[in-house]
Structure 1
Amino acid sequence: MRPPTMKAAGLALAALLTLSACAKAEEPVAAPAATSTAGQQVVQTPAGDAGPTCTLEQFGGEKFDLKTAVVGFSQSEKEANPFRIAETQSIRDEAAKLGITELKVTNAQSQFSKQITDVQQLIAQGVQLLVIAPLNSDGWEPVLQQAAEKKIPIITVDRQINAKPCDDYLTFIGSDFYEQGKRAADRMIEALGGKGKVAILLGSPGNNVTTERTNGFKDRVKEQAPEIEISFEQTGEFAREKGQQVTEQLIQSNPDINGIYAENDEMALGAVTALKGAGKEPGDIKIVSVDGTRSAVQAIVDGWLYAVIESNPRFGPLAFQTAQRFLDGEAIPDKVIISDRDYDASNAQDSLGEAY
């Protein structure tokens, strides 16, 4: 998949503005087959195909004015990661644009127990809508029970929670992580000519992003390139410093490695630092990662990364649009899947301004 031209991007954005990502179940609308554009997200899955739907009547809550409501956003990770910075800023910017007068933002600093406490405190402070970027997929029962008692709709972004939509939360908005893993595998197969040894820098355990990006990559390699051997796997915890440490170990234990699949850009950039320290040259080891940060796209320009699969963090517009449609009585699908672009040597230089 290649990024659209500027004209196509404009058409995609126009389609997003007219498309109901959360259309009524009885009136499914085909989503545009387009990639995300700078600052925006394009819905990939038609609402009628997204699974069960939920209405305000089914949920059991009361309609409220979003502009005057108390809205809570729970960020999961330290905002040293460009993904998290862009994600939080997108929520803040869209709330300001819509005139939402009271937005409460918390940050769990990568501690799950703190995130649970953060959200419980938001509930105690009277929030009427919760947008949560979960650190883990499990362990949300205390929060969900408290939110359900007060009929507070919850929208999760970028990671899913293991719970029942409409009963426990409203919907999930994010990427198809399994598909991201498959696309990353396609680029690695391309880079290595279908054979060689590959290491995987795994994301943090305990969430669906890591699991699905791993399974998608492995399944695709097994299916399309049996001569590629996955000879090393270790978590880099989605962190640059940890990615560097793991790659330093990798170089020592597997000096014949040909490729590295990093499940986010921060780990990939840490790997680049390790390779530089080991005297490697750009392109000696092919690196494919997921996210689409500006630093990673620049690393493609510089020859250190082969390709990056985007994971768009700008959830603000779509999250609040979904909330408003729900409050207007429309049926919301249990998943709103967005479309992400690819970056490689053919478009990285021209796309730097669109990366986050």
Structure 2
Amino acid sequence: MRQRSLAALAMAAALAVTSAGCTVERHWGGGSNAGGGGKAKVGLVTKTDTNPYFVELRAAAKAAAEANGAEFSALAGQFDGDNDGQVRAIENLMQQGANTILITPSSSTGVLDAIDRARKAGVLVIALDTATEPATAVDATFATDNFEAGRQQGAYVKAALAGKPPKLFMVDGTAGSTVDTQRHTGFLKGIGLTDASPEIKGKTPANGDQSLAQQGVENLLQRTTDINAVYTMNEPMGRGTYAALQARGLVDRIVMGSIDGGCEGVKNVRDGQYAATVMQFPKKMAEQGVLAAVEYAKTGKKPSGFVNTGSAVITDKPIPGVESQDSKWGLENCWGTK
């Protein structure tokens, strides 16, 4: 009877977490949230559990936890932008006794209250991939320097134009998001323009979505086809943009760049859909986050500030003065399905 009662309680707990809008990887029993007790209990909260980028992040974190003797649990929002789901995930992890929470916040501000409660309870909170606003809302951030990734893309496009003045379309992500803003402004820095420059012939937001990017660029092309360069905030939008340009027979005269470094994106570079992409390294973010969690559990020492996990230009059309790697290297180091 006692075993049946315990089984029923376990089933109820699992159902409660599922109904809260989170996806469960694994969880442990409750306990103290403070570090310095020796055993790392690491919780990861991603924006979703289906995006290949976050699948890679979760797999890398789980592997690093297993390799370092840490317990691990992964939860996610139901969709990109599910702030309520991420708040519930943080609360669930605290109840389970997590002493470190790694989070890729769907919104830079939408989960700050929950993060504050976790930190006050002694939990180390590290943002992965996406910074919070303010950055001091978490103990540390392990992420791509998105401004630098944008600058690298812009510098490559400028060099590839070989002195020709840019006639530019900009395909942005979600207006106002931290990552979108940083990549956009970094690109302009790299190519040597400002938002007011007349060389920018059109802009369209696409929220990271391939179909929206294709539709947005098709609309821009109704106004002008006199362009020679395109900025895309991520690789799905690069693919959508390529489809729109291809339909107009424009791909051969345009230098297009992107950012992500997913295996599909590297193949796009290899196959000539766009000239270059800037690779980021989610595996590094996850591994470094877990190692910080292990250190915190052992000693109580917390990391702080921004830790840049790096980025690299991937292209099969290298240009003097722009450091890059080719698509073969890219496929050896990319994330997602190879």
Query: Structure 2 length normalisation: TM-score?
Result: 0.77
Percentage identity across paired residues of the two chains: 21
Counterpart of 2:138?
169
Counterpart of 1:294?
263
Q: What is the distance in 2 between the residues matched to 1:313 and 1:241?
A: 25
Counterpart of 2:38?
65
Equivalent runs, 1:223-234 vs 2, <5 Å: 229-234=199-204
Contact 2:128-2:286 within 8 A present in 1 as well: no
Tell me by how many angstroms 1:170 deviates: 1.4
Note the alpha carbon deviations across 1:102-133, whole angstroms, 9 max, x for none.
Answer: 42322341122322233233333332211000
Tell me by how many angstroms 1:282 deviates: 4.4
Tell me by how many angstroms 1:295 deviates: 1.6
Note the alpha carbon deviations across 1:192-223, whole angstroms, 9 max, x for none.
Answer: 23413111111223432111111111233336
Counterpart of 1:25?
none
Contact 1:123-1:146 within 8 A present in 2 as well: no
Whether 1:116 and 2:87 are equivalent positions in the alignment is yes
Supply the RMSD in Å over aligned alpha carbons.
2.5
CA separation of 1:350 and 1:128: change in aligned 2, threshold 3 A: closer
Q: What is the distance in 2 between the residues matched to 1:131 and 1:83?
A: 15
Tell me by how many angstroms 1:137 deviates: 1.0
Tell me by how many angstroms 1:244 deviates: 2.0
Counterpart of 2:171?
201
Q: What is the distance in 2 between the residues matched to 1:352 and 1:154?
A: 32
Q: What is the distance in 2 between the residues matched to 1:318 and 1:259?
A: 36
Note the alpha carbon deviations across 1:269-320, whole angstroms, 9 max, x for none.
Answer: 12122233x1426433221001111122112222221111112111221111
Q: What is the distance in 1 between the residues matched to 2:71 and 2:34?
A: 21
Q: Report the residue type matching 2:66 in the other structure.
A: A
> In the alignment, which of 313, 321, 341 is matched to residue 282 of structure 2?
313
> In the alignment, which of 174, 189, 192 is matched to residue 161 of structure 2?
192
Contact 1:135-1:207 within 8 A present in 2 as well: no
Query: Structure 1 length normalisation: TM-score?
Result: 0.74
CA separation of 1:325 and 1:124: change in aligned 2, threshold 3 A: closer
Counterpart of 1:178?
147
Whether 1:139 and 2:139 are equivalent positions in the alignment is no
Contact 1:138-1:206 within 8 A present in 2 as well: no
- Structure 1's unaligned 5+ residue stretches are 1-59
Q: What is the distance in 2 between the residues matched to 1:207 and 1:122?
A: 26
CA separation of 1:116 and 1:254: change in aligned 2, threshold 3 A: farther
CA separation of 1:350 and 1:62: change in aligned 2, threshold 3 A: closer
Contact 1:221-1:228 within 8 A present in 2 as well: no
Mean alpha-carbon deviation: is it higher for 110-119 or for 183-192?
Answer: 110-119
Q: Report the residue type matching 2:36 in the other structure.
A: K
Contact 1:247-1:271 within 8 A present in 2 as well: yes
Q: What is the distance in 2 between the residues matched to 1:129 and 1:96?
A: 15
Mean alpha-carbon deviation: is it higher for 309-318 or for 108-117?
Answer: 108-117
Counterpart of 2:21?
none
Q: What is the distance in 1 between the residues matched to 2:305 and 2:259?
A: 24
Counterpart of 2:70?
100
> In the alignment, which of 154, 161, 180 is matched to residue 125 of structure 2?
154
Q: What is the distance in 1 between the residues matched to 2:220 and 2:329?
A: 33
CA separation of 1:322 and 1:100: change in aligned 2, threshold 3 A: closer
Rg (Cα) greater in structure: 2
- Structure 2's unaligned 5+ residue stretches are 1-32, 319-325
CA separation of 1:179 and 1:63: change in aligned 2, threshold 3 A: same
Helix, strand or coil at the partner of 1:218: helix
Contact 1:75-1:108 within 8 A present in 2 as well: no
CA separation of 1:149 and 1:352: change in aligned 2, threshold 3 A: closer
Counterpart of 1:304?
273
Tell me by how many angstroms 1:64 deviates: 2.8
Q: What is the distance in 2 between the residues matched to 1:78 and 1:245?
A: 27
Contact 1:282-1:303 within 8 A present in 2 as well: no
Counterpart of 1:342?
313
